[in-house]
Amino acid sequence: MNYNKIQFEAAFGTANQLPPSDVAEICFAGRSNVGKSSLINRVIGRKSLARVSTKPGKTVTINFYSTDGVRLVDLPGYGYAKVANAERLRWADLMETYFGSGRNIKMTFQLVDMRHTPSDFDLDMIDYLKQMEIPFTVVLTKSDKLNKTEYKAACERMREILGDDNFIPFSAQNGDGAEKIREVIEKAAM
Ligand SMILES: Nc1nc2c(ncn2[C@@H]2O[C@H](COP(=O)(O)OP(=O)(O)OP(=O)(O)O)[C@@H](O)[C@H]2O)c(=O)[nH]1
Ligand SMILES: [Mg+2]
């Protein structure tokens, strides 16, 4: 896949705006501020294609980035306490339509902050993906912030939750796990 050619395609704030799913889609989900946009930028090797926020809840739209018949989909973050109820409903509606309308989703990367015990939101998302039989890989983000012992403990915790090794520790800062994520994308998008 030619990551150099990847381009912002469009942003969608409501479910009925979503265009047909005519190409393979690889998407990125997770709590607000978990590092979705940073991951996309690191993995495709572009500094600021996806907007990185200092304030949580910046990406309130579904953003499509496209190349060679593949779409990378930056999903809006969840679990940001301060958003209004109406915004939460909009989020839920967007996500339900995105995941529930038979789109050509080849892989979902479910991002979880490696420094913390997964939240109920995180666990719900993992359950939801399993239930919907959407192929997914968990990514443990911000691995650069952990020491060796914490790193091992976080991996062990996720192994117990998932019952397997279907997760990738990752750092947008030092590139830990980036190659593995690229491999999963290439394989899924074939
Ligand atoms: N140390 C470290 N910081 C990171 C990493 N990834 C992201 N960050 C920081 O975490 C913050 C949020 O990153 P984003 O990539 O904007 O997170 P997001 O999930 O896209 O957030 P929303 O769009 O609000 O849902 C920013 O301040 C990033 O610089 C990482 O791997 N290591
Ligand atoms: Mg973002």
**What are the tens digits of pLDDT across the range 30-40?**
998 899 989 99
Range 36-51 average pLDDT: 86
Q: Which residues contact 42 (CB under 8 A, 6 or more apart)?
A: 172, 175, 178
Q: Which residue has the tokens 């991996």?
A: 155
Res. 57: pLDDT tops 60:
no
Q: Rounded distance, CA 182 to CA 188, Å?
A: 10
Check residue 53 and give its pLDDT: 62
- Split into its structural domains, the chain has a count of 1
What is the extent of the structural domain holding 143?
Answer: 3-189
Count of Cβ atoms closer than 10 Å to residue 121 Cβ:
15
In the structure encoding, which two tokens stand for residue 129, read together?
Answer: 């993906």
Check residue 148 and give its pLDDT: 98
Smallest CA separation from ligand 1 atom 32, residue = 142
What is the number of the ligand closest to the CA of 52? 1
Range 38-46 average pLDDT: 91
Residue 111 and residue 177 in contact, taking contact as beta carbons nearer than 8 Å: no
Smallest CA separation from ligand 1 atom 11, residue = 33
Smallest CA separation from ligand 1 atom 6, residue = 35
Residue 166 and residue 160 in contact, taking contact as beta carbons nearer than 8 Å: no
Res. 3: pLDDT tops 90:
no
Check residue 132 and give its pLDDT: 93
Please report, for the domain that includes residue 23, its CATH number: 3.40.50.300
pTM recorded for the entire structure = 0.93
What sections of 113-177 are H helices per DSSP?
120-131, 148-162
Q: For the chain, what is the mean pLDDT?
A: 90
Residue 43 binned pLDDT confidence (cut-offs 50, 70, 90): very high
